[in-house]
Amino acid sequence: MAKLLFSLRALPILCLAAFLALTEACNRQPQLSSGLDLGGMDESLPPGDDFNAYSNGGWARVTPIPPDKSAYGSGSILADKTRQQLLDLIQGASKAGASSDPVTQRVGDFYSSFMDEAAIESKGISPLKPELDSIAAIADRTALARFIGSHLRADVDALNDTNFETMNLFGLWITQGLADPGHTYPYLLQGGLGMPDRDYYVSQSPQMAALRMQYQSHIEAMFRLAGYSDPTARAARVFALETGIARVHATRTESEDVNSAVVWKREEIAMKAPGLDWAALLEAAGVKDEPAIIAWQPKAIAGISALADSQPLDSWKDLLAFHAIEEAANFLPRAYVQEHFDFFGKELNGTPQMRPRWQRGIDFASGALGDDVGKLYVDKFFPAETKAKVEAMVADLIQAFGRRIDALTWMSPQTKIKAKAKLATLKVGVGYPDKWQDDSGLQVVRGDALGNLERAELFRYRRQLAKIGQPIDRGEWWMTPQTVNAVNLPLQNALNFPAAILQPPYFDASADAAHNYGAMGAIIGHEISHSFDDQGSQFDAEGRLSNWWTPADFAHFKASGEALARQFDSYCPFADLCVNGHQTLSENIADVAGLMTSYDAYQLSLEGKPDVVRDGLTGDQRFFLSFAQSWREKIRDAALRAQIATDGHAPEQYRADTVRNLDQWYPAFYLQPGQKLYLAPRDRVHVW
């Protein structure tokens, strides 16, 4: 009985009429693959007790985490495949040299410079010496502010990582205003930490306390490698100052509250955040003429500014020197690379072995020359057929989401009108941008590895500054085509689905609809749903921060969100540590709504006909299994603790169990009350 219940491919087809209908449908459709890893399942387990283990237990049992990774699963497997694809392109570019076109030459020269370890070793720390000397020459608070301003850099992921951390004291991001979508504004974000998040400095857990001791030893080791006197005392000063910065930082949950961001007029900044010489800082940053900035975490910015005045100048100089060494470490001799990895790889994430240098080189070249590398990648690996098929899926998903809005019984007509308007103006980019960024002004010098990195960062920053005063480009991409990820851009009311994620196991042109909608369709639905999650729902069709809900509608929406937060609060991978349901709420809402929308779109794609049985599984079974297998992952304990502390996403094992909120999952897998994942209908969170 247990085998019959849980080995769903062994279930007989009980209804002859259903069998004949399915056979007829099968004869009408091309014989496609189910797209599933059937051997990766563990059919000895009840799907209703742990759907992730049922879907992925066989794979997990025989698959070790590679020694150079902190986690391993669908995303990292595809990222490795993409790196291998890029290796062939970039190695070819590095051999082409000056005889190639400018794009190929830039890419090849950047990669070759990083890979020339002998040249890097021979130079020692001399490429970083000018910056370290400029830090040593800081003589007063105005010079400190000027240095901080000159080292502000743009981070294109800031919109999607609201807890944006940078070793620079602040991060700068430029895009349209929260309340003024017609104009660009500079956004200032908290930074200044070496470890990933404030919790690493203030948490009382034994694990965090141990990491703090190891981090201080790491700071000391970096100073010693760079030849600084009294590295122990310097490390103590740096750690104490970073701890002070961490204490004034906004938490992850606080940072996700878009309503906490405030507009500061230029003349108000010194009053709102006293302590720093803001006139010197903004002039050095290239934004001195801007009438206003938007402070994303205003209390943190004010707190950091106060520390700039109250803490000894020598402590600040030590902190800036350490951060300069740390950020350059991967482009310095082996001893720096190894020390950097020993802390951030081994201690912080439990990764025993460093990745091969070629993989790191691919990542650095791809990050520094994103569109240059993207052009080469798309030309070789992203066929027009894939783009067309994914765009058709997108259209189905948008239609399905619109129908879900129409069917909501709790939403008032006036709120529905606003929601449908936002959906109608959503701009979806598939594969690559309509307009490529021009990197021709970036100087890449063969043999100057660190200089190439520094010039690339400055070039990107100046590109962001150049957007000030220009019309808003709603088609701008914030991810490169070779990125295995996807993004929702609430201020642009836009989505990006890079070419690299549109490959197996997420999307497979030779697989059936159940697989592609269960895996990639759920990702697309997830990103569409972000426009209507607890954060995205606060932006209107033009990307303006605006309350377009009736009070009763928003109260219902918030209540559903609270129920989902409680559901995720109950997931505890460690005895002393559980998922934070509010910290992960936006992503969890998007997972639930995205999966529901994708299921509806999958049904639309069938045009009212029953799906075939493939590999002994019904269409609904394949849909939900594909979703769960898209989230398969094994992760080291240290990395899992780090994720729970800092990430807005729940661990993959719990994301796979999102299926428990869908009514259709229950009959597909014959769930009964009493099974661990079973939720009574009233307890299933639908949100949208």
Domain residue extents for the chain = 125-332, 382-433+486-541+549-688
Q: Which residue has the tokens 């109950």?
A: 570
Distance CA 183, CA 468 (A): 8
Q: What is the pLDDT of residue 534?
A: 74
Q: pLDDT grade, residue 253 (50/70/90)?
A: confident
pLDDT of 25 strictly over 80: no
Mean pLDDT of 583-587: 93
Q: Indicate the DSSP class of residue 613.
A: P
Mean pLDDT, the chain, as a whole number? Answer: 91
Taking alpha carbons only, the member of 446, 645, 660, 675 closest to residue 564 is: 660
Angstrom CA distances, 442 to 208, 462, 463, 579, stand at 41, 11, 11, 43
pLDDT of 20 strictly over 80: no
Taking alpha carbons only, the member of 171, 137, 127 closest to residue 455 is: 127
Q: What is the pLDDT of residue 166?
A: 58
Token pair, residue 287, equals 């934004």
**The listed CATH number (1.10.1380.10, 3.90.1150.10, 3.40.640.10, 3.40.50.1980) that belongs to domain 125-332:** 1.10.1380.10
Token pair, residue 331, equals 């482009």
Q: What is the pLDDT of residue 167?
A: 76
Contacts of range 7-11, beta carbons closer than 8 Å, 24 or more positions apart:
7/43, 8/43, 8/47, 8/616, 8/617, 8/621, 8/669, 8/670, 9/43, 9/615, 9/616, 9/617, 10/616
Angstrom CA distances, 145 to 130, 461, 510, 587, stand at 18, 18, 57, 37
Question: pLDDT per residue over 416-459, tens digit each?
Answer: 999 999 999 999 999 999 999 999 999 999 999 999 999 999 99
pLDDT of 558 strictly over 60: yes
Helix H or strand E segment including 111: helix 102-115
Question: pLDDT per residue over 332-382, tens digit each?
Answer: 999 999 999 999 999 999 999 999 999 999 999 999 999 999 999 999 999
Angstrom CA distances, 515 to 395, 512, 614, stand at 17, 6, 11
Q: How many CB atoms lie within 10 A of CB 277?
A: 22
Q: What is the pLDDT of residue 95?
A: 78
Mean pLDDT of 373-392: 95
Taking alpha carbons only, the member of 559, 545, 615, 609 closest to residue 589 is: 559
Helices (H), 154-312: 199-202, 206-225, 231-248, 252-255, 269-272, 278-285, 298-310
What residues contact residue 483 under an 8 Å CB cut-off, 6+ apart?
A: 498, 500, 501
Contacts of range 26-31, beta carbons closer than 8 Å, 24 or more positions apart:
26/612, 26/613, 28/609, 29/512, 29/612
- Tell whether domain 382-433+486-541+549-688 is in CATH 2.40.160.60: no
Token pair, residue 19, equals 């069998």
Distance CA 377, CA 89 (A): 8
Mean pLDDT of 623-648: 95
Q: What is the pLDDT of residue 154?
A: 79
pLDDT of 159 strictly over 50: no
Angstrom CA distances, 204 to 286, 398, 499, 547, 572, stand at 40, 46, 43, 38, 18
pLDDT of 480 strictly over 70: yes
